[in-house]
């Protein structure tokens, strides 16, 4: 999937639905998932992966499998 600035995104979060449970962070083998400084409409700081860390993602999809709200989509390169 193409993201901003021409970056091929491997992991995409539907940030408006993220509840900051941190389950995705706990299972990411590359430790590239962080949290936004701003709040989403629900009042949570949503998880995300910075554009410069997208290429570090190995597309294992552990984060997506752990997410109780199915807000994460992982693409294979």
Over the stretch 51-70, which tens digit does the pLDDT of each residue have? 999 999 999 999 999 999 99
Domain boundaries, the chain: 4-74
* Residues 16, 1, 58, 62, CA torsion sign: positive
Tell me the pTM. 0.86
Look at the domain 4-74 and name its fold. Answer: Alpha-Beta Plaits (3.30.70)
- The rounded mean pLDDT for the chain is 92
CA distance between the termini of the chain: 9
């Amino acid at each position: 999937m193409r993201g901003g600035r021409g970056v091929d995104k491997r992991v995409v979060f539907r940030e408006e639905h993220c509840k900051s449970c941190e389950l995705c962070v706990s299972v990411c083998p590359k430790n590239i998932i962080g949290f936004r400084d701003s709040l989403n409409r629900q009042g949570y700081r949503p998880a995300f992966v910075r554009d410069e860390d997208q290429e570090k993602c190995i597309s294992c999809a552990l984060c997506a499998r752990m997410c109780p709200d199915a807000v994460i989509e992982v693409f294979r390169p």
